[in-house]
């Protein structure tokens, strides 16, 4: 092997490493969805494992795969049931998110709706925020039930 071939192989190897590192960095950031208010200012984010961060990127809580809602100190705050029911720390029913995104309180009054595009609206159809790519139940816990 000539010195020129070795140099070319080293350059190619460095390019491959840089490409792989770039892909790794991009992959770790994919999935975090931004929560915004009606003025489109960032309120926080929810990542793919359910971790909820505020606008300063500090963890304020998480929603676990089983539906448990916990604060940043791992204290149990409530639960999202598989049927969309929302329960508080005492396991009392506080509301639900219907399959169409409509959010209701425990008296069955409409609080608002999480649209399929992530727009969050109050009961008067005013936009109160955006949660694009966030499951409707997670957005409801954040915007309507104020767990965080």
Extents of the domains making up the chain: 1-30, 32-143
**Residue 88: which of 111, 69, 107 has the closest Cα?**
69
Across the 148 residues of the chain, what is the mean pLDDT of every consecutive 10-residue run?
60 52 42 89 92 94 95 95 95 96 97 96 97 93 87
Cβ within 8 Å of residue 100, ≥6 positions away = 113
The reported pLDDT for the residue numbered 24 is: 39
Predicted TM-score (pTM) of the model is 0.76
Residues 114, 18: Cα–Cα separation, whole Å: 40
The reported pLDDT for the residue numbered 147 is: 80
Task: Look at phi and psi of residue 74 and say left if phi exceeds 0, alpha if psi is from -120 to 50, else beta.
Answer: left
The reported pLDDT for the residue numbered 146 is: 85
């Amino acid at each position: 092997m000539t010195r020129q071939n070795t140099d070319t192989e080293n350059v190619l190897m460095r390019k491959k490493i840089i490409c792989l590192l770039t892909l790794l960095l991009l992959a770790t950031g994919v999935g975090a969805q931004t929560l915004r208010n009606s003025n489109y200012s960032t309120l926080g984010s929810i990542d793919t494992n359910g971790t909820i961060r505020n606008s300063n990127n500090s963890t304020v809580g998480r929603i676990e795969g089983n539906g448990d809602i916990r604060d940043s100190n791992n204290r149990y705050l409530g639960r999202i049931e598989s049927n969309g029911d929302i329960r508080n720390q005492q396991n009392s029913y506080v509301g639900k998110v219907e399959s169409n995104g409509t959010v209701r309180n425990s008296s069955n009054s409409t609080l608002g709706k999480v649209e399929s595009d992530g727009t969050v609206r109050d009961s008067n159809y005013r936009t109160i925020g955006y949660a694009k790519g966030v499951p409707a139940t997670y957005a409801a816990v954040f915007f309507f039930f104020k767990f965080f």
